[in-house]
Each structure stands twice: as C-alpha cells, then as structure tokens.
Amino acid sequence: MARILICDDQDIIRDSLAATLARDGYDVVAATDGPMALQRIAAGKVDLLITDLKMPKMTGIELLTEAKKIRPELPVVLMTAFATVQTAVEAMRLGAYDYIQKPFEADEIKLLVARTLEHSQLKQENAALRSVVAETQGPRPLVGDCEQMRAVKKKIELVGKSSVTVLIRGESGTGKEVVARAVHAASERRDRPMLAVNCAALSEHLLESELFGHEKGAFTGADKLRRGRFELADGGTLLLDEISEIAPGLQAKLLRVLQESCFERVGSSTTQMVDVRVVATTNRDLESEVAAGRFRQDLFYRLNVIPIDLPALRERPEDINELVRHFLHKIAKRDQAAYKHVEPEAIRLLERYPWPGNVRELQNIIERAVILETDPGVIRAETIAPWLRMPMQNTIAGASDLAGQPLADIEKQVIISTLERFNGHRVKTATSLGIGLRTLGMKLKKWKQDGIYEEIGA
C-alpha cells in the first residue's frame, strides 16, 4: 500500500484530503509544516508528498528542494491557489511532479495521485531493470578465434547496425546468451534496456502475461496492472530464450508483434505500438519442429531472417586454450587471487574431451580446478583427469553388456568403431581415444596380419 504524506498548515484542507485518500485505501500521514514533513521523509517509507505552497516556517518550494536532497526519486505534488500558478510551474522545474490548483474536487486529486504513483513506480521498475541488465550484461567478451567464431563475430557486427530479428542456434552452453548480449551491445540500442524471457520456463498463460502484460482484473490473481516485457523493452532488445517451446496460440501473437510492432495487454482492447528488437535462441532444430507441425512456418521465417549458428565446443578445440585463460583471469580477478596456470598436459586433456555441456561445462571444470587444486601455482592434468571421464561412461552404450568379456576384445571393438566413425582417419581416431598414433598403427598392423581388420576409408 502506498504511503502518502500531506503537508499543509490549514487543518481543514489537510484533514479532508487525508480522509479522502484514506478512503481510497492509501496509507496517509500528515504534517503541519515543512520541518515536520522532512522528519517523516527521513524517517522512512513515503511514496508521495503532497504539499501546500504557502506555509509558515518553510515554503513548499523549500520543502521540495530539501525533500529531494533526502530522497531524489520521491514524487512531489504541489497544491496552490490561482495566484501562485507561476510559482508552481517554477516548482516543476525544480523537480515537482505536478501541481493542483485549489480548490479541487476529490476525484481530481485522486486521479492525480494514482497517475503520479503509477508513473513513479514505472520509473523505479525501469531503473531496477536497467541495473539488473547492466549487471548481467557487464563487459562479457566473446572468446574464440576459430574460423566459426570469427564468422559469428563478423555477423554480430553486421546485424548490429540494423534492427532485424536474429535467431541464435546452438547446443546448450555454447554461448547463445553471450552472443545475444553482444548483438545488443553492437546496436544503437545499447543504452536502452535489454530484457530476457525464457519461453520454456513458464506456462502458456504466464508467458503471455510476461510478454504482453495484463490489465488489472484480466484474470483471477491479476490484482494489479502489469507491464509486459515488450512494453518494458521498448526502444531496446528482447531476448526470447528457447523459442521452440512457445505454445501455438502464443506463436500467432508473437508473429503479430514482430510483423506489425503492436500488441494488446491481456484483458485490454487498446493496441500499443512498440519498437523492440527481438533476438531468439534455440537449441532445437526449428526446421524439424516446423515439419512436425509444432512450430509455425511463418513465424520461423520471420525469426530466421539472420541466423547465427554457434559451433559446439568439441568442434573447436583450438579455442580451448584461450577460453581456459579467459576463465582463469576472470576467477583471479573476482577472488582477488593469483592467476593459476594450467600445465600443457592438462590443456591436451581438455582439448580431447567431447564437452557435452560445451563452454558452460568447461567454465565449471575450471572453477572446480581452481578450488580443488592443491598445487599453489599450476593446475595439473591429474587433478582434472578424473572429471573428464564422465561422458565416456555415458556414451558407452551398453557398457554393462561388455562386462566379463576380455579387455583385448573390447579394445578391438572400440578402436575399430572409432576408426569407422572418423572414416579411417588415424590421427583423429588416436586423438579421440587418447592413445599415441604409433600405438594405434601397431595394433592395426597386428590385427590386419591376424585377418581381423581390413583398412577402411582413406
């Protein structure tokens, strides 16, 4: 409940105004002069100050100036007689929100109070959102210099200048959000808010009101007006995470706002225009979602104007070293600790690992290594090696079926099927199995002599 402070030396006006607003459900407190009002403001929560202009001890203008020193964001409304309208205009220049001329009707002041409070709340919400965005945004460099990442960076630069919709595709943890923020930062909207909604996290109903907002009373539980993300991101960028998860009914509404830049709050018939750049992400293949009838084709085309594809980390082992250093620097800075190096053997291990969780998983492993490494200056291969075996256990489908078979046979099966996967490419096979090229060569030679193996591929 909003608390309103009324300051007036005339008892009749002060008390009747207090009664009017209290009847409307506001929490009303009163002061008879400026110093008393200031004390109340300093003492705690006041959401709105309504003050008379002409008062003994301290004028309304002086009170306004002093109140703003204590609480710059406090909205102030001045009450004034006709003769002093000029002063009231001056007061608005000093930061008053509005003024009202005495005498006034109850409805008039109620409307003004409601409008002022709503506006002030919106301003605070926006400030809060902006600070959250600034926080999460920060300088988040996009690390990686492999060919695919260079292409990604080039694209970000190109799309930055326009407001076209961007669709970022890639496995989980590949950096889709980092790229989305980079798109925003590269655009002329960079000083405007960037908001994000995860389409997979909410039910259709909640997502609709999250995106478009709702009117007070639009449905049970909608006890106050709520602005949606499209409205709040006006002029900025909206990140729609996991867009494939958006329900069919909402897909149509999303298409409309993308095409016509307009929407209605849930429960409202007033159409609002917005200027929002949408960046969507998906880790699913949207084309097959379209083919399966789960995703609207027209929406897909509208989103897919500029696709940016992020490579999986296992496809770019050449970036591992730089990423590791990047994370180590970040950790050292955050913990105000000395920078730890990673021994070359450990880097080789990291380069060989298939990274099902991509960059996020790498970041976690580095975090863990920094904490658990007992060596003061270097992260050793033997420290991280045990953590990199997990997916091997996962990917050996039917490992339990192999139980009880001679290891030599298992080894043969694994090596040969790995060779098949890499089309006979021995270097890739040896690297992926973590054995030397010569060892592989010797084994193959022996199996060939035994007639177990025939050369495959090139």
Ligand X SMILES: Nc1ncnc2c1ncn2[C@@H]1O[C@H](COP(=O)(O)OP(=O)(O)OP(=O)(O)O)[C@@H](O)[C@H]1O
* Cα 442 to Cα 439: distance, rounded to the nearest angstrom: 5
Instruction: Please identify, using beta-carbon distances, which residue of 145 and 188 lies nearer to ligand X.
Output: 145
Q: 255 Cβ partners below 8 Å, 6+ apart?
A: 296, 298, 299, 302
Instruction: Please identify, using beta-carbon distances, which residue of 64 and 197 lies nearer to Mg ion.
Output: 197
Backbone angles phi, psi at 135, to 5 degrees: -65, -55
- Pairing mode, if any, of strands 76-80 and 48-52? parallel
Instruction: Please identify, using beta-carbon distances, which residue of 81 and 200 lies nearer to Mg ion.
Output: 200
Q: Which of 177, 231, 315, 351 binds Mg ion (CB under 5 A)?
A: 177
- Residues in contact with ligand X, counted by CB under 6 A, come to a total of 16
Q: Which of 34, 75, 160, 175 binds ligand X (CB under 6 A)?
A: 175
Q: Choose among ligand X, Mg ion, none what residue 363 binds, the Cβ cut-off being 5 to 8 Å by kind.
A: ligand X
Neighbouring-strand partners of residue 227 = 213
Please, what is the minimum distance in Å from the beta carbon of residue 241 to Mg ion?
Answer: 5
Q: Choose among ligand X, Mg ion, none what residue 359 binds, the Cβ cut-off being 5 to 8 Å by kind.
A: ligand X
Please, what is the minimum distance in Å from the beta carbon of residue 281 to Mg ion?
Answer: 6
Instruction: Please identify, using beta-carbon distances, which residue of 309 and 411 lies nearer to Mg ion.
Output: 309
| Count of other CB atoms within 10 angstroms of residue 295 | 22
Diameter of the chain measured on Cα atoms: 111
Q: Choose among Mg ion, ligand X, none what residue 244 binds, the Cβ cut-off being 5 to 8 Å by kind.
A: none
What is the helix (H) or strand (E) element at residue 363, kind and residue range? helix 358-372
Q: Choose among ligand X, Mg ion, none what residue 178 binds, the Cβ cut-off being 5 to 8 Å by kind.
A: ligand X
- Ranked by CB distance to ligand X, the top (closest) residue is 175
- Give the range of 24-32, 156-164, 172-180, 445-453 binding Mg ion by CB under 5 A: 172-180
Q: 242 Cβ partners below 8 Å, 6+ apart?
A: 198, 199, 200, 281, 282, 283
Structure tokens at 21: 């607003």
Instruction: Please identify, using beta-carbon distances, which residue of 177 and 231 lies nearer to Mg ion.
Output: 177
* Cα 362 to Cα 349: distance, rounded to the nearest angstrom: 12
Instruction: Please identify, using beta-carbon distances, which residue of 37 and 196 lies nearer to ligand X.
Output: 196
Site residues (CB under 6 A) for ligand X, limited to 271-300: 283
- Give the range of 31-39, 67-75, 174-182, 226-234 binding ligand X by CB under 6 A: 174-182
Instruction: Please identify, using beta-carbon distances, which residue of 96 and 199 lies nearer to ligand X.
Output: 199
CB-CB contact of 350 with 324 (8 Å) = yes
Residue 363 in contact with ligand X, rule: CB under 6 A: yes
Strands, E assignment, 229-270: 237-241, 262-264
CB-CB contact of 103 with 82 (8 Å) = no
Site string for ligand X, 233-272 (x = CB under 6 A): ----------------------------------------
Please, what is the minimum distance in Å from the beta carbon of residue 284 to ligand X?
Answer: 10
Please, what is the minimum distance in Å from the beta carbon of residue 357 to ligand X?
Answer: 8
Q: Is the peptide bond before 391 cis (omega within 30 degrees of 0)?
A: no
* Cα 6 to Cα 17: distance, rounded to the nearest angstrom: 8
CB-CB contact of 218 with 268 (8 Å) = yes
Residue 142 in contact with Mg ion, rule: CB under 5 A: no
What is the helix (H) or strand (E) element at residue 79, kind and residue range? strand 76-80
Please, what is the minimum distance in Å from the beta carbon of residue 43 to ligand X?
Answer: 43
Residue 173 in contact with ligand X, rule: CB under 6 A: yes
Instruction: Please identify, using beta-carbon distances, which residue of 197 and 266 lies nearer to Mg ion.
Output: 197
Instruction: Please identify, using beta-carbon distances, which residue of 294 and 325 lies nearer to ligand X.
Output: 325
Instruction: Please identify, using beta-carbon distances, which residue of 21 and 168 lies nearer to ligand X.
Output: 168
Please, what is the minimum distance in Å from the beta carbon of residue 177 to Mg ion?
Answer: 4
DSSP 9-51: S-HHHHHHHHHHHHHTT-EEEEESSHHHHHHHHHHS--SEEEE
| Alpha-carbon dihedral angle through residues 373, 376, 379, 380, given to the nearest 10 degrees | -80
Segment 13-22 long-range contacts (CB within 8 Å, at least 24 positions apart):
13/52, 13/79, 13/102, 17/50, 17/109, 20/106, 20/109, 20/110, 21/109, 21/110, 21/113
Sign of CA dihedral 131, 133, 136, 142: negative
Q: Choose among Mg ion, ligand X, none what residue 172 binds, the Cβ cut-off being 5 to 8 Å by kind.
A: ligand X
Q: Choose among ligand X, Mg ion, none what residue 283 binds, the Cβ cut-off being 5 to 8 Å by kind.
A: ligand X
Site residues (CB under 6 A) for ligand X, limited to 122-151: 142-144
Residue 317 in contact with ligand X, rule: CB under 6 A: no
Query: What residues line the site for Mg ion (CB under 5 A)?
Result: 176-177
Query: What residues line the site for ligand X (CB under 6 A)?
Result: 142-144, 170, 172-178, 283, 326, 359-360, 363
